[in-house]
Structure 1
């Protein structure tokens, strides 16, 4: 594959050309867990053991690195496993800055892990660069965590500006770009050091694989080498069949993401003027506080995720979720089917999510059907 091809073309071909001996159009599945030595005890195929050297990882890791414009990618057994590897690369006494709005499981785990690991953890508002600058200047910082757009309220962080602040302070920047995907945003090009994906979501896109991934800007970075070691020794790696499914899913990434983004824009605009809806959070709306930043760092759309709040409160929100027929009530996001979730119920009593909020993951169905489903559930 040549560098002159569009990323969508790379993705459609699985990131690789057919190879000998069979010149398969579809990438083959590699299942072996171990590899044969030669008579001298060496490894002619360059592989020792599949925990961190499986040929099944080569294709999807290479493709994801190409799509993100990075030097190297690593697959993990889940998005949380990928995040865990980054945090385990830190040493006791170091400091982490994390956004107040981010994936709830990571937020809760960060509190526990940083306390147990001897890390200092401070929080900043996702869209407040002034606060972030003050925090970075207040004490030595080693890792800046960014999630943008941020789940489930979809605040937008200016990656380039935030990464510049971190770099000036000698800190690494990690961006969770699960929602944006490389179709819309390339955080490494904006100054990030590592990009994280819950590959379970849009990268795979079919609700049938749990996976995570990291992509680095520089593979010779000592911090990245510690991340690699955390994966190799921690063992939180992906099975070969799941890696193969992920590569298959990424072959349709661009067409799926574009269709879902277009649907989400129409749904958000429709909800924004509905009398039963108090507010809509979606970066593609001009009324969104982060719209200008999103328009600058996201290309070709604003993602397939949005949230809206009902005027009549929590009971009404739950009722609407239960009355939807095309939207399925389920956790997760980024797949071909549209999902709805009363997010506060999932996160528990200490959730900061408003009780009247519903989160939508928009799929690739006919948008007319999605709007009709919302219309009948809202009843107006």
Structure 2
């Protein structure tokens, strides 16, 4: 698995599955094919890729890593939550399994909790379907209806998320109190060219680091009025999150800071509101902090 994982995935892989399922995980920098190749062992059965990652917005080359894993007999699963199926199709790039938190972009309105597993492999489909039935991981009818309703507006929502996120990212990269900005749609992003190859758009997630560190971050989240201070993402409303104390609090400080998740890092789920309102809100909060 990648070493830049969502905190909840890390807890599952590091704390739960080794104990309950006897599984052993090796972590590698999935942005570097050589690192992944070194980490793949003869007994490796699954390569787990999260791209773009939460919250650093780093990308992995799905096609290259899928080919490498398949040569060694491993199955490839991709967490596609940040991109959404509108902007990225991992199955078409060689992955075997795709997972989504339907709570996020697919539902799109912050009113449902759910997940989805997709595959084009009939054998995997039957295995997942059997396990779902046996384990009871079946969504309620109304929850399923909520997600299906969200899918009807997925395309128009994702286009607006992307437009607003790019505007916000461009504003932040020129802000005097912002140290770094992470958004695949910026030409300065180290994997911008990869994003253009394997994604049809750059989605609506942005992260940035404030010059003032933790103190500035804590102050800023108390001052936003359009951005709500909350942990989720992918809804029509804009959210601001402090990963170090929220989504990635379970990851040891040294480990998360090595991946860029410092106390000054903020994560934005950019909604579909007026982009000028979003920019003004962030500017006021950062300067007030």
How far, CA to CA, are the matches of 2:33 and 2:275 in structure 1?
A: 36
Q: Deviations over 1:213-242 (max 9, x none)?
A: 0110122x2x44322221010001100011
Match of 1:128 in 2: 32
1:373 aligned to 2:281? Answer: yes
How far, CA to CA, are the matches of 1:363 and 1:203 in structure 2?
A: 14
Flag the structure with larger Rg.
Answer: 1
Unaligned 5+ runs, structure 1: 1-97
Q: Is the 8 A contact 2:7 2:249 kept in 1?
A: no
How far does residue 118 in structure 1 lie from its aligned partner after superposition?
1.8
- Secondary structure in 2 matching 1:279: strand
Match of 2:118 in 1: 215
How far, CA to CA, are the matches of 1:297 and 1:146 in structure 2?
A: 14
Q: Is the 8 A contact 2:216 2:286 kept in 1?
A: no
What TM-score does the superposition give when structure 1 sets the normalisation length?
Answer: 0.72
What TM-score does the superposition give when structure 2 sets the normalisation length?
Answer: 0.94
Q: Is the 8 A contact 1:192 1:217 kept in 2?
A: no
Match of 1:318 in 2: 218
- Identify which of 66, 79, 83 aligns with 1:163: 66
How far, CA to CA, are the matches of 1:291 and 1:154 in structure 2?
A: 11
1:364 aligned to 2:272? Answer: yes
How far, CA to CA, are the matches of 1:348 and 1:361 in structure 2?
A: 18
- Secondary structure in 1 matching 2:25: strand
How far does residue 115 in structure 1 lie from its aligned partner after superposition?
1.8
Matches within 5 A, 1:1-380: 98-116=1-19, 117-136=21-40, 138-219=41-122, 221=123, 223-299=124-200, 301-346=201-246, 347-348=248-249, 350-351=252-253, 352=256, 353-379=261-287
- Secondary structure in 2 matching 1:121: coil
How far, CA to CA, are the matches of 2:102 and 2:274 in structure 1?
A: 24
Unaligned 5+ runs, structure 2: none
Runs of 4+ in 1 over 3 A off after TM superposition: none
- Secondary structure in 1 matching 2:26: strand
